[in-house]
Amino acid sequence: MSRLVARVRRGANAGVPLYPHIHKDGMYVASHTKFEVDYIRVESVGDLEALVRAGYKARMSNQELGRAPSLISSDNIQFVGGNTVLLSTRLEKLEEEFDLDRDSISKHRREQALLRAYLMNGNATEECSICRRTLPENMLVASHIKMRSHCTNDEKLDFDNVAMIMCKLGCDDLFEKGYIVVQSGKVVANPHRTSTPALQCNPPIFRSSYS
Ligand SMILES: [Zn+2]
């Protein structure tokens, strides 16, 4: 793990170092935008480093300046010393922790944030795998294709294939509730599932099969 350092760029304090800001809830924040609703809160500098290396900005501050934290772009953050920490390494470590304590809500929340960021390659927007609409990160989720308990150890660590990016505009729920299923790598409507006309009319979902 590295130390993250940025510098104040202008004004009287130019050159003063900034460090990851610890918020009141004890968390660090990575984000693509300045809007609090988009903040990804992480407990450790390791997770923050992985997100910043993937392209996220980080909220950083210096206590001595007594100023509100700034949202610093990844290009302006230096990684000092230590081993490089990537989203994949954090996800691998998280998998080990899941084996010890699977039901922790905070671990699931953490997995969701890191896995979604990993599958989105750190981008702020991405296409939903089902309806193909491009949406901002907070309207998307990393949806597990196969139940974790049914996965082999190798499958659990195959982060590219363990989950898909789906939207919160319906696709994730339709998948979760079994109205659409993955068959031979394609997403198709589930013929065995009782539906309603309104659901079947949902154009992005049932228009055709998606590969
Ligand atoms: Zn969708």
Query: By three-state DSSP, how is residue 63 classified?
Result: helix
Q: How far is the CA of 167 from the centre of ligand 1 (A)?
A: 4
Q: How far is the CA of 146 from the centre of ligand 1 (A)?
A: 18
**Predicted model pTM:** 0.88
Residues in the chain, total: 211
Q: How far is the CA of 117 from the centre of ligand 1 (A)?
A: 17
Tens digit of pLDDT at every position of the chain (211 positions): 889 999 999 999 999 999 999 999 999 999 999 999 999 999 999 999 999 999 999 999 999 998 999 999 999 999 999 899 999 999 999 988 887 776 678 888 999 999 999 999 999 999 998 888 999 999 999 999 887 778 888 888 999 988 999 999 999 999 999 888 877 777 778 888 877 877 766 645 554 444 4
Q: How far is the CA of 195 from the centre of ligand 1 (A)?
A: 18
Q: Where are the alpha helices (DSSP H) in the chain?
A: 45-53, 87-100, 105-119, 153-156, 159-162, 171-176, 197-200, 203-206
